[in-house]
Amino acid sequence: MKCLKNRKTSNIVRVSDQQAQQMVGIQWEYVSKSEWKQVTREVVKVAEPIKGGDAIAETIEEKRLKHKKQKSK
């Protein structure tokens, strides 16, 4: 399998080796598979930090205090 890019439309296709040999020329050129993957697959977005992270830390601290109080009893 080979990846080809149309020089005029920038369309990237993946075809068999025999078909690629026939298509390469004036209008089509070889491109890397990573370039084809970039175009055809969704971009994974980096997760944004969760808002209210301080509130979670406070609840953990509160739980620790409760646990200490229970131990001391």
- Domain residue spans in the chain? 1-41
The secondary element (H helix, E strand) that includes residue 57 is helix 53-72
What is the pTM (predicted TM-score) of this model?
0.55
| Contact between 28 and 5 (Cβ < 8 Å) | yes
Distance linking the first and last C-alpha atoms of the chain? 71
Read off the pLDDT of residues 16-53 as tens digits, 9 standing for 90 and up.
Answer: 999 999 999 989 999 999 999 988 887 666 666 656 55
Sign of the dihedral defined by the CA atoms of residues 13, 17, 22, 28, in that order: positive
Instruction: Find the range with the poorest average confidence among 6-10, 26-30, 53-57.
Output: 53-57
